[in-house]
Amino acid sequence: MTDAADPTVVARVEALRTDLRAHDRAYYVDGAATIPDAEYDALLRELRDLEAAHPELASDDSPTQRVGGGFAPTTFAPVEHRVPMMSLDNTFNPDEFLAWAERVRKGLAGDGEPPPVRWACELKFDGLAMSLRYEDGRFVQAATRGDGRVGEDVTPNVATITELPDHLPGGAPSVLEVRGEIYLPVSEFDRLNERQDAEGKPRYANPRNTAAGSLRQKDAAVTATRNLRFWSYQLGEVVGGPELNSHASTLAWLSELDFPVNDHTAVFDEPEEALAWILERERSRHDDDYETDGVVVKVDELSQRELLGSTARAPRWAIAYKFPPEERTTTLLDIEISVGRTGRVTPFARLDPVFVGGSTVGVATLHNEDQVRLKDVRPGDTVIVRKAGDVIPEVVGPVVADRADDSEPWPFPSTCPCPVGSTLERAEGDANTYCVVPASTCPERRWQGISHFASRGAMDIEGLGERTVLALTRSGRVADPGDLYTLTSEELLEYEGFATISADKLIASIDTTRSRPLPRLLFALGIDHLGPTGAELLAHRFRSLEAIAEAPEDDIAAIDGVGPTIAASVRTWFDDETHGSIVDKLVAGGVATDRVETEVVEPVLEGMSIVVTGSLEGFSRDGASAAIKARGGKSPGSVSKKTTAVVVGAEPGASKVTKAEDLGVPMLDEAAFVALLETGELPPSE
Ligand code: IVH
């Protein structure tokens, strides 16, 4: 009989596990540590030692087996909406709106005279659609919209929103789904960004994305600190309860049940009156502490809604009138350049910060030398700024009338302003300028290369954010990705923001990436022109990193779908001695270099149509479209009503961007595209 039977050992192991679980819960769920780190460590070490001495007591659910923060699920469970969560059709000008109203009237007329219609108007909140489910008067579930049929269960996160009732008064329906928008007040958004500034962390982009990120926290305690709010505007499944016959009475009833209902609502007899209200709301859109991107007009009478019905996507009885993208003027303080991980130099405008399209814009890309020339923007100019597709800050052009007499066109620099002062070169026929020193000597390229290595479509090192990468490279501890695999928890503790749990967690997540498949590893190395698709092809042809490192250029170029540009770039990369040492470090650090079993590419883009415009850093045009098709999506050459999203690279086609804007098609940058390929999910954008 072994020691395991010793009841004191068993009891001690159990006691330690119970204690550690309670401390973990306090730390991860309630957001407050209950013991000092050192004591926590001592308990964990004791448990680890006991488990090592008594392997028969090992258990998968022991706190020693957890990477940390393992309470909430890593993915959110699917929830099937019993009543689908529909989208809305959009209109962008008075004519389109009045034409819709006319269609509604005709639709209700049948063969006779159109009946009177009342138009209920309310704000279109710029947040995330959510369905709250109450059963027998108790809050039981919150689900995101997802694709309209199946959303995600975010109940613990939504439960932190204090203004939502968790119980309904007697007489409430036995099943009640209240739909509405979760949003982050602008004042909260500003407060969060002030905190980010104070801590030297990157700013959040806009309230909507921040709300989405706050909701998707695995740890609801983090959500609780974000002070999210909710506006109710619709019902889903309802069983029992009072007879309701209009939208206005539905909202009044929801308000009586203590659901937050916005005050800016109105009901009109004539569409022209609704239109006047819309234009008034557009003028005052920034008077409130939440973002709106339009007005929603709904047929008030519920029986008329039934007659009108819905298309597959949206009800015929409601329409969104979208406000035009905002334009603001500000001062262009300076034009600077940044160097990306491939050495590509991008000029960008540093602006006197201006609030436009839902967030403060202080910088905007100018793409390349030709774009700066074409727009002829100069430091000191008053410039017009807007958000392309509501996301990407864009300098539209200068207000020439306001320009100083002695202003000169901006000269594109020929050397990098960084301490290395490298030469910047633009090849004949290429729109882009490049820094010509090797990546290993350029401080900017170095940390960006490591960030890319750790990013989602690459090695996907959870918890290794930009700030940590910057700190690790600045201290000199990490010079290239190979150095990540010798990091220890103890070393991480030296860096700001790390405690024992977070340090262990990062080391554990680095560890899991040792077995990433070869295509990911290859892509992660950041070889110019080699995107995920090219990496996949190379991995399958040569089967190991070592074999690729040795492969003759012609053999690489001969692979169907690879071509001479990638082949030359791959050869150049591996021929560089500093890169050889990265490969050596990765191998020494235990990173697998020959895992080529096909990563099952899930058909996550099935039914989607993704248009790519402009050039991307990690994908050729064909590579991007192959990646979309491999996941079941379509990749047509032009934007239409059926387009799911437009990926906007450098120098996008103006007509595609304008069309996408007009149709309200979401636009993505390259990072969001890589995430889309991974998950099939668009960044929240309703
Ligand atoms: S009603 C069946 N009302 O807009 C009708 N939606 O573009 C469903 N939204 O997914 C929507 N404010 O997230 C409705 N007052 C409002 C809204 C609103 C914002 C969002 C909602 C929806 C999206 C459609």
For a ligand 1 pocket test, name from 91, 122, 181 the mutation site with the most ligand atoms within 8 angstroms of its C-beta: 181
Atom 23 in ligand 1: which residue has the minimum CA distance? 686
Mean of per-residue pLDDT scores for the chain: 88
**pLDDT higher than threshold 80 for residue 392:** no
Distance 292 CA to ligand 1 centre (A): 11
Q: What are the C-alpha distances in Å from 246 to residues 117, 118, 239, 253?
A: 11, 10, 17, 11
DSSP letters, 449-465, are HHHHHHSTTTT--TT--
pLDDT, one tens digit per residue, over 82-113 is 999 998 998 989 999 999 999 999 999 988 89
pLDDT digits (tens, 9 = 90+) for 287-308: 999 999 999 999 999 999 999 9
Report the residue among 81, 83, 88 best suited for mutation to probe ligand 1: largest number of ligand atoms under 8 A from its CB. Answer: 88
User: Given this model, what pLDDT does residue 25 score?
Assistant: 63
**CA 129–ligand 1 middle distance (angstroms):** 7
Q: Which of 124, 505, 585, 659 is catalytic?
A: 124
Q: Quick check: CB of 318 below 6 Å from ligand 1?
A: yes
Indicate whether residue 458 lines ligand 1 (CB < 6 A): no
For 424, phi and psi rounded to 5 degrees? -105, 130
pLDDT at 20 over 50: yes
Q: What is the pLDDT of residue 37?
A: 65
Tracing tokens 């053999």 back to the chain, one arrives at 555
Q: Is the CB of 181 under 6 A from ligand 1?
A: yes
> How does 13-39 read in b/e, with b if 16+ C-beta sit within 10 Å?
beebbebbeebbeebbbeeebebeeee
Determine the pLDDT at residue 1. Answer: 35
Please give the average per-residue pLDDT across 492-517, as a whole number.
93
Q: Is the CB of 686 under 6 A from ligand 1?
A: yes
Does 233 contact ligand 1 (Cβ within 6 A)?
Answer: yes
Give the model's confidence band at 210: pLDDT under 50 very low, under 70 low, under 90 confident, else very high.
confident
Q: Long-range contacts of range 422-426, CB-CB < 8 Å, 24 or more positions apart?
A: 424/337, 424/345, 426/369
680 has pLDDT over 70: yes
**Range 133-156 average pLDDT:** 93
**Cα 296 to averaged position of ligand 1 atoms, centre (Å):** 7
pLDDT tens figures, 544-585:
999 999 999 999 999 988 889 899 999 999 999 889 999 999
Hey, what amino acid is at 580? G
Lowest mean pLDDT among 25-29, 60-64, 299-303, 647-651: 25-29
Q: Is the CB of 677 under 6 A from ligand 1?
A: no
pLDDT value for 5: 53
Amino acid at 247: H
Indicate whether 452 pLDDT > 80: yes
Query: What is the secondary structure of 2-16 as a DSSP string?
Result: -GGG-HHHHHHHHHH
124 is catalytic: yes
Q: How far apart are CA 178 and CA 248, in angstroms?
A: 15
Nearest CA residue ID for atom 9, ligand 1: 124
CA distances from 426 to 40, 413, 414 (A): 56, 11, 9
Average pLDDT estimate for 322-350: 90
Confidence of residue 456 (pLDDT cuts 50, 70, 90): confident
Average pLDDT over residues 402-415: 93
